[in-house]
Amino acid sequence: MRIFLSWYNTFENKKRTSAAVAGIAFSVILIFMQLGFLKTARVTSTRLYDYLDFDIVITSDKYEYMDDPDSFDRVHLIQARVVPGVGKVGMVNLSGAAWLDRETEISSSCLLISVDRDPAFLRNDEISENLESITAKTNTVMLDRLSHPELGPVEIGRTASIHGVEVEVTSLFEIGLGFFADGSIIVSNETFQNLVRQDSRKVSLGLVKLAPGADGNEVKDAMRESMPPDVLIFGREEFVTGEQDYFIKVKPVGIMFRMGVLVAFIVGAVILFQVLSKEIATKIKEYATLKAMGFKTSTIYIVGFQQALIMAIMSYLPALAISHGVFFAARRASRLPMYLSNDLALFVLALTLGMCVISGVLALRRIQLADPAELF
Amino acid sequence: MIYSDRIPLAFLMLTHQKRKLALSLSGIALAVLIMFTEVGFFNGLNDSQANLPPLLDADLVLMDEKKEHLNKSERMNRHRLQQALVFDEVVTATPLYDRSGHLRNPQTGQLKSIDILAFPPDSIPLRIDGIERYAEVLKRSNTILYDARSRSIFGKIDAGMEVELSDRKYLVGGLIELGPNFSRDGHILMSDTTWKTHFMGDSRDEITLGLLKLRPGTDVESLKERLSEQLGPEVLVMTPEEIRIREIRFTTKSTPSGAVFGIGLLMGFAIGVIICYQILFNEITDQLPQYATLRAIGFAQGYIVNVVMKKALFLSVLGFLPGLVGGIVLYAYIQHYTKILMYLTYPRIGLVFLLTVFMCCLAGLLAMKRALNADPAELF
């Protein structure tokens, strides 16, 4: 019975309600976008490491970030191999490079990633399957489909030049590191040496997989003890978290999007507050009548809250649907891996309900003023 | 139409209920604030990445042709400076050296990458407040200046402290303020002599930038052309302003910032249209009898249109002002805590103002039907 009252109240003035719902829905879409971008920034900052399989990582003590990894002597990898509990040891090299599309003569930046020959260090099926296409022959590369269009056509068989050396694209993968470079390219360690001409004793990252049954923390401690201080040892979790924190907190990418969420939240709450107080102001006599009929004040509060809730949900649902479309458009426009996950949808739903509670509490204070004696 | 000049009807109707108006304006102000935030971050990202060129105290800058943006490490031979000095108009040619080093955080012991700038202390080529007084300090061996606005990852560093930079100890001779960006977390400044002893390695003759000061009254454009011709295609000759614009172009091209903040701007605009529509619609609904009366006493449709559009314009101006104040506060706050350069320039204020006016006018047009349908016969 009560739910019907709030339902009828909400839909009594269809135009006003739909304008309010549209306003709140746009705030919710904005929240979706901002959180989506933030999440994408967080995800892309460590997306490379999601593609690599390792339990422990060895870095130079000057390791800053994926973009600026520095390097260390690969003799440390051999040292790591003898630590009890260490299973396999592999390596990864990273370097920024210049990609030249010979057709257009346009030069773009790219991140050159060399992976280990052993597919055990890979977590991405597509890369594992195509690993052979870049290890069989030198100067063959795997090109990221989400690269900037200026790199030229994303096709198997095309050529380009990296640091003046001709390379052939023999397979494709998908990563989208648009925040860091125009394109990403995976090569074998041999090709990497060929292109970058880095001292062949140097590596950017050492990847360690534990032997079956070994305890990660114990192995990490043992490695820290037996290896010199110019390399750092991290467990997978702490390494990935540190990487995200650097991007989100030190480079202040986080605040850019959180600020947008905050303002959008306030806007949504203000619109909801506005429409609720308007609603109560016009219905104050009806509420007073309800009171006079003996309904408790709490009943009237519940009716008010239900209206807030109905409007919040009605705004959330189209916002969710539209956001799916906007995410798709943003994915195309920004070449970032933007996806609307269920977690994100639930989190925004929680924010929408929070919006509804705050504006409800503020607007419903006026219900107390409904005085049966003033009815006439 | 005569009456519209005598009685500011739209304004009076709008300000009739002050409390309600305040609430309405806060809604518009927030939409304005969203637009300011998005415009601010987009430009903040670009301006921060281009923070160095405006600090260069030079009329023309020389650099290697392959240095497509300032974070590329390409250098050029220092004899280019001599080549430039051959021209009568060139008064001084100062080298600037730039590379990254690793600074140890004195509190945590962690090594973090920092940017090092070096130059001759007798002709400091950077426009940084108070830097002149450190000319003598920089001449002491192994003495550096630290950018106090560097990110906190380097720890608390003060004048008089000894710091470890790329495996060597240096004395911090003083603090200056330059500011980080997305590529550079902090800066250290040193003399070219200190630089040459420790950082040059086997590239002794290479400099990052050549900064030229010209005789007053020189035709910069024509000299630029003649210099380019003389120095050949391996050297770029640009003014600091041209470098700044090139940096911004590079940032917008290489990051998806345009799409990211453009979508935000669009959302802010859409929210603004809806809020403004809602306000006008409620206004008109509440004052339907007044509109009907106006019609009854013979005012034409055009007059009603005029009143509603004026209301929309008043709303946009009145809502923009608190939004602008909010924007100023927000920009200052963001710049302080994130060190992103948030400049609120007149063109940017103008852009958001135009969007606000456009937003309210659009809402006015949408709400118009309601007012035009006011029927005198329904008055009673």
Whether chain B has a CB inside 8 Å of the CB on A339: the answer is no
Please tell me which residue of chain B has the smallest CA distance to A20: B278
Whether residues A17 and A80 share a domain: the answer is no
CB contact under 8 A, B27 and A267: yes
Whether residues A89 and A218 share a domain: the answer is yes
Whether residues A222 and A353 share a domain: the answer is no
Whether A132 maps to a domain, the answer reads yes
pTM of the model: 0.81
Whether residues A90 and A36 share a domain: the answer is no
* Sequence-separated (6 or more) residues with CB below 8 Å from residue A268: A23, A24, A27, A28, A31, A315, A352, A355
Tokens standing for B195?
Answer: 């630089």
Whether chain A has a CB inside 8 Å of the CB on B278: the answer is yes
Q: Give residue B211's region: left, alpha or beta (phi > 0; psi -120 to 50).
A: beta
Model confidence at A267: pLDDT above 90:
no
Dihedrals phi, psi of A318, to nearest 5 degrees? -65, -35
Whether A201 maps to a domain, the answer reads yes
Which residue is associated with the tokens 């139409």?
B1
Whether A242 maps to a domain, the answer reads no
B224-235 pLDDT per residue, tens = 999 999 999 999
Burial letters for B130-140: b for 16+ Cβ neighbours within 10 Å, e otherwise? ebeebeebbee
Using pLDDT thresholds of 50, 70 and 90, give the confidence band for residue A316.
Answer: very high
Whether chain A has a CB inside 8 Å of the CB on B21: the answer is no
CA dihedral (A66, A68, A74, A79) positive or negative: negative
Whether residues A219 and A81 share a domain: the answer is yes
Q: What pLDDT, on a 0 to 100 scale, did the predictor assign at position B7?
A: 67
Alpha-carbon distances, residue A374 vs A279, A304, A371, B326 (angstroms):
18, 20, 5, 41
Q: Distance between CA A111 and CA A181 in Å, rounded? A: 6
Which residue is associated with the tokens 């394109």?
A183
Chain-centroid distance, C-alpha B276: 29
Whether residues A119 and A216 share a domain: the answer is yes
Whether A136 maps to a domain, the answer reads yes
Note down pLDDT in tens along chain B; length 380 residues. 444 456 677 778 777 778 778 888 888 999 999 999 999 999 998 999 999 999 999 999 999 988 888 887 788 998 999 999 999 999 999 999 998 889 999 988 888 889 999 999 999 999 999 899 999 999 998 999 999 999 999 999 999 999 999 889 999 999 999 999 888 899 999 999 988 887 766 567 889 999 999 999 999 999 999 999 999 999 999 999 999 999 999 888 777 788 788 888 888 898 899 889 888 888 888 888 888 888 888 888 888 888 899 989 999 999 999 999 999 999 999 999 888 899 999 999 999 999 999 999 999 999 888 888 877 777 66
Whether residues A78 and A220 share a domain: the answer is yes
- Lowest-pLDDT range, A221-230, A270-279, B102-111? A270-279
Of B102, B112, B260, the CB nearest to A37: B260
- Residue type present at position B157: I
Whether residues A172 and A287 share a domain: the answer is no
Dihedrals phi, psi of B111, to nearest 5 degrees? -90, 130
Of B113, B259, B271, the CB nearest to A30: B271
Show me where the domains of chain B are located. 2-49+256-378, 60-238
Of B41, B182, B278, the CB nearest to A251: B182
Whether chain A has a CB inside 8 Å of the CB on B68: the answer is yes
Q: What pLDDT, on a 0 to 100 scale, did the predictor assign at position A2?
A: 56
Whether A240 maps to a domain, the answer reads no
Whether residues A268 and A345 share a domain: the answer is yes
CB contact under 8 A, A330 and B260: yes
Whether A190 maps to a domain, the answer reads yes
The alpha-carbon gap from A310 to the nearest alpha carbon of chain B, in Å, equals 19
Q: Give residue B92's region: left, alpha or beta (phi > 0; psi -120 to 50).
A: beta
Instruction: With CA atoms as reference, report the closest residue to B362 among B272, B297, B293, B295.
Output: B272
Average pLDDT over residues A284-303: 83
Whether chain B has a CB inside 8 Å of the CB on A61: the answer is yes
Whether A91 maps to a domain, the answer reads yes
Of B68, B254, B256, the CB nearest to A334: B256
* Residue B106 near residue B96 (C-beta atoms within 8 A): no
- Residue type present at position A348: V
Q: Distance between CA B276 and CA B362 in Å, rounded? A: 9
Whether A234 maps to a domain, the answer reads no
CB contact under 8 A, B263 and A326: yes
Whether residues A86 and A223 share a domain: the answer is yes
Which residue is associated with the tokens 């032997």?
A211
Alpha-carbon distances, residue B272 vs A62, A84, B222, B308 (angstroms):
48, 63, 49, 17
Please tell me which residue of chain B has the smallest CA distance to A249: B338
Per DSSP, the three-state class of B310 is helix
Average pLDDT over residues A24-43: 90
Q: What pLDDT, on a 0 to 100 scale, did the predictor assign at position B304?
A: 86
Whether chain A has a CB inside 8 Å of the CB on B159: the answer is no
Q: Give residue A329's region: left, alpha or beta (phi > 0; psi -120 to 50).
A: alpha
Cβ-based contacts under 8 A for chains A and B: 113
Q: What pLDDT, on a 0 to 100 scale, did the predictor assign at position B202?
A: 59
Q: Distance between CA A347 and CA B244 in Å, rounded? A: 41
Report the number of distinct structural domains present in chain A: 2
Please tell me which residue of chain B has the smallest CA distance to A108: B254
Alpha-carbon distances, residue B53 vs A359, B61, B100, B209, B348 (angstroms):
48, 10, 18, 11, 21
The alpha-carbon gap from A60 to the nearest alpha carbon of chain B, in Å, equals 10
Whether chain B has a CB inside 8 Å of the CB on A345: the answer is no
For residue A9, the enclosing domain spans 2-44+254-375
Q: Distance between CA B345 and CA B334 in Å, rounded? A: 16
Q: What pLDDT, on a 0 to 100 scale, did the predictor assign at position B200?
A: 66
Dihedrals phi, psi of B17, to nearest 5 degrees? -110, 105
The alpha-carbon gap from A117 to the nearest alpha carbon of chain B, in Å, equals 31
Q: What pLDDT, on a 0 to 100 scale, did the predictor assign at position B157?
A: 95
Q: Distance between CA A353 and CA A342 in Å, rounded? A: 16
Q: What pLDDT, on a 0 to 100 scale, did the predictor assign at position B2?
A: 45
Q: Distance between CA A80 and CA A86 in Å, rounded? A: 7
Q: What pLDDT, on a 0 to 100 scale, did the predictor assign at position B6?
A: 60
Alpha-carbon distances, residue B194 vs B158, B168, B209, B311 (angstroms):
20, 11, 18, 66
A64-113 pLDDT per residue, tens = 888 778 889 989 999 999 999 999 999 999 988 889 998 888 888 889 99
Whether chain B has a CB inside 8 Å of the CB on A271: the answer is yes
